[in-house]
């Protein structure tokens, strides 16, 4: 078995963070999970409470933190438009102050640190598919800017700490990810469509539904995280992690209806400001550097996600 490490996961009670905690615990590591429950949920980690290798700390990353760990995964930040636009100033603070605090901790401990960045750094891309060399097309003053620019600034900080202080960094740009433990009301397209279909509600499509997205199942993504963190020290990223399979929003809605056996009808509303028309990762770098690519097809991942939401909704009834 590999060396047992003590690992800090910020945002560890969130959708991705909780799956990462599961994976690290299963590998035999000791995990400190940090979350302030702004968007994270106790339910996501309750099965780990009581595990001797798991510790939970309620803390906001915008305030400094003093711990002894060997690795840091920085995932703390609301990641859905509903949540990050609810308190845009706090969203920017979480990305920027959070990065400064975690990088400061990594500098003090001389430990490796992972940043969960996002495909939103590409904005509404004029290059398709998006490669890591593309600098993006981002509105700096729009309603999504708190998240997009916050994450862009965090990447800047990571690379400056790397150059100035020789900190070992790993930066992943995450594309649309879905799976169990997504919040049912987080406004993300997979959870929206699945919950609406299960309830028999009309399925809301923004614009004509011709905009495209690529959907990566959470287990595939977490595998990419771990491979990147454990890659040689000269592999810093940024590196795209996502599923290059491209689907229109309308195709996803129709698939959700079919797989849930729902009688929901499609309903069309105006497209939100700065909503990207295309989003598809070029994952050549991840394949070459990490030997990573997703292997769970959309239907299989959706089936698991539907089962999760079906159980969640039946518990609420």
Question: What residues are annotated to the active site?
Answer: 147
Residues 6+ apart with CB under 8 A from 276: 122, 123, 124, 125, 211
CA distance 137 to 145: 11
113 contacts 168 by C-beta, under 8 angstroms? yes
The backbone torsions φ and ψ at residue 167, rounded to the nearest 5 degrees and listed phi first, read: -75, 140
Q: Residue holding tokens 């089936």?
A: 303
The backbone torsions φ and ψ at residue 142, rounded to the nearest 5 degrees and listed phi first, read: -90, 180
92 contacts 149 by C-beta, under 8 angstroms? yes
Question: What are 82's two structure tokens?
Answer: 């509903």
Distance from the Cα of residue 83 to its chain's centroid: 13
CA distance 156 to 146: 15
222-259 in b/e form (b: 16+ CB < 10 A) is bbbbbbbbebeeebbbbbbbbbbebbebbebbbbbbeb
CA distance 155 to 118: 10
Q: How far is CA 295 from CA 150, 218, 284, 316, in A?
A: 31, 11, 15, 33
């Amino acid at each position: 078995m590999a060396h047992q490490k003590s690992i800090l996961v910020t945002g560890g009670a969130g959708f991705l963070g909780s799956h990462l905690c599961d994976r690290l615990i299963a590998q035999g590591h000791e995990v400190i999970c940090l979350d302030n429950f702004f968007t994270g949920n106790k339910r996501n980690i309750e099965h780990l409470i009581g595990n001797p290798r798991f510790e939970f700390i309620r803390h906001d990353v915008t305030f400094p933190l003093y711990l002894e760990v060997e690795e840091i995964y920085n995932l703390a930040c609301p990641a859905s438009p509903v949540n990050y636009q609810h308190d845009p100033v706090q969203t920017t603070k979480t990305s920027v102050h959070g990065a400064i605090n975690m990088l400061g901790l990594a500098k003090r401990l001389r430990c490796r640190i992972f940043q969960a960045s996002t495909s939103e750094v590409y904005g509404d891309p004029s290059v398709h598919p998006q490669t890591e060399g593309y600098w993006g097309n981002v509105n700096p003053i729009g309603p999504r800017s708190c998240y997009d620019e916050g994450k862009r600034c965090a990447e800047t900080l990571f690379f400056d700490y790397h150059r100035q202080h020789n900190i070992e960094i790993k930066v992943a740009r995450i594309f649309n990810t879905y799976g169990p433990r997504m919040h049912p009301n987080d406004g993300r397209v997979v959870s929206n469509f699945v919950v609406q279909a299960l309830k028999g509600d009309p399925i809301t499509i923004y614009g004509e539904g011709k905009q495209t997205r690529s959907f990566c199942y959470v287990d595939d993504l977490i595998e990419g995280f771990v491979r990147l963190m454990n890659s040689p020290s000269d592999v810093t990223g940024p590196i795209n992690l996502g599923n290059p399979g491209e689907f229109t929003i309308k195709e996803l809605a129709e698939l959700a209806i079919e797989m849930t056996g729902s009688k929901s009808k499609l309903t069309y509303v105006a497209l939100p400001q700065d909503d990207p028309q295309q989003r598809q990762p070029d994952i050549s770098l991840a394949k070459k550097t990490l030997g990573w690519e997703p292997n769970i097809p959309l239907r299989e991942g959706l089936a698991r996600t539907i089962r999760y939401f079906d159980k969640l909704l039946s518990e609420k009834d």
